[in-house]
Amino acid sequence: MPISKIETKTLRQKVYDQIRDSIMSAEMEPGETFSLRTLADKLGVSIMPVREALWQFETEKVFIIESNKKMSINTLSMNEIDEIFDLRLYHESILVTESCLNWNKKTLDKLESALKKMQGSNENTKAFLRYNKDFHYAMYNNANRQITLDIVNNLWLRLAPYFGIHSPGAKIFTDFTVHVNMFEAYRDKDIDTLVENFQSDLNETREYILSSLSSSKVNPA
């Protein structure tokens, strides 16, 4: 029946969105392996919508399906990580610029809320990363550039598993100056300062991830 097909599609999309949100919040690590059944049980659904969602992630080069029942988060070489950061710098600079041109109080309030949550989660890496995503996407979603946003979504998906990687014993999130500067620049509609601090944030993240990977065995490529 047509209604049954619509329900199946809706469930598949919900499963995809939930897995996507977990990946983009760095709740899954590069190379981490899952069984189809385990993932379905965690989501409280049958295997079929999970399998369909994972097929989509495979085409996006986020998951590797190793067998009918086993899959893992894709890993990236150092050069691929560097290339993704280059692409993010270009496309996301456009999004933050357009968002500022489309300035509104609702977006400013979202930025302020996410910033406060980031500052309150310094001891919890996963929470920080989730709020950091919320901070950035508060701007991106206000840019009204859907094709650019689609590109950025895929770049985030592929790179996000590396956001939580850090050197043993390192405390990675202690300075919120760049995010405060971004918030204040957005509040003041100062595009140049906003983009400058956004790019500084991204380049610092790039340097940190590549430095951490070069001193660990997480990604030997």
pLDDT tens profile 59-91: 999 999 887 678 899 999 999 999 999 999 999
Paired with 73 in beta bridges are: 63
Q: Whole-number mean pLDDT of the chain?
A: 87
pLDDT tens profile 32-48: 898 889 889 999 999 99
Paired with 72 in beta bridges are: 33, 64
The topology under which CATH files domain 78-214 is Four Helix Bundle (Hemerythrin (Met), subunit A) (1.20.120)
Domain 2-73 is of which CATH architecture? Orthogonal Bundle (1.10)
Q: Structure pTM?
A: 0.86
Contact 31, 73 (CB under 8 A): yes
pLDDT value of position 81: 97
- In the numeric block, the tokens 């600079």 are attached to 93
In angstroms, the CA 47 to CA 84 distance is 32
Q: pLDDT higher for 98 or 3? A: 98
Contact 29, 76 (CB under 8 A): no
- Return the DSSP state at 29: -
